[in-house]
Amino acid sequence: MDRLFDQFLRDWLGMHGLADAIGWLVVAVYATNFLLCIRIVWKKGTRPSAALAWIAALFAFPVLGFLTYLVIGENRVGAVRRRRHARILRAAEGLDAGWKDPRVLAGNMSTVDTQMAHLGENSGAPAVLNGNLVQLSGDPEEQARWMTEDIDAARSSADALFYIFECDATGRRVADALCRAARRGLCTRLLVDGIGSRAFLRSPLCRELRAAGVQVVEALPATVLRVVFARVDIRNHRKLIVVDGCIAQTGSRNVADPDFKSGGRLGKADPYIDSWIRIRGPVVRDLHILFLEDWGLEAGLRDRIEVPGHPALQPGGIPVQVIPSGPNFENAVVLDLIQASIQLARREIVLSTPYFIPDSATIAGLEVAARRGVRVTLIVPRANDSLLAALASRANYARLLNAGVELWEHRQGFLHSKTVSVDDELAIVTTANLDRRSYEINFETSVVVYDDAFAAELRRLQHSYIADSVRIDPNAWERRGRWARFRENLANLLSPLL
CA-CA distance, 201 to 181, in Å (whole number)? 20
C-alpha triplet 376, 379, 382: angle, nearest 5°: 145
**Residue 315 — left, alpha, or beta (φ > 0 → left; ψ -120 to 50 → alpha)?**
beta
Task: Kindly write down the DSSP assignment for every residue of 311-328, as one continuous string.
Answer: PPPPTT-EEEEEEEE-TT
User: Half-sphere exposure (CA, 13 Å, Cβ side) for 167?
Assistant: 13
Q: 219: helix, coil or strand?
A: strand
Residue type, 108: N
Q: How far is CA 290 from CA 62, 303, 318, 440, in A?
A: 41, 17, 21, 18
Residues contacting 159, CB < 8 A, separation 6+: 187, 188, 189, 190, 191, 240, 241, 242, 243, 288, 291, 292, 295
Answer for the pair 356, 378: CB distance below 8 angstroms, yes or no. yes
Nearest one of 466, 369, 360 to 415, comparing CA atoms: 466
Active site (catalytic) residues: 237, 239, 244, 416, 418, 423
Answer for the pair 425, 113: CB distance below 8 angstroms, yes or no. yes
Bridge-based pairing of strands 157-162 and 187-193 is: parallel
Bridge-based pairing of strands 375-381 and 406-410 is: parallel
Helix, strand and coil percent figures for the chain, each rounded to 5? 45, 20, 35
Q: How far is CA 72 from CA 52, 59, 97, 206, 229, in A?
A: 16, 17, 37, 29, 11
Nearest one of 280, 435, 246 to 354, comparing CA atoms: 435
DSSP H or E segment with residue 159: strand 157-162
Question: DSSP letter at 255?
Answer: B
Answer for the pair 498, 392: CB distance below 8 angstroms, yes or no. yes
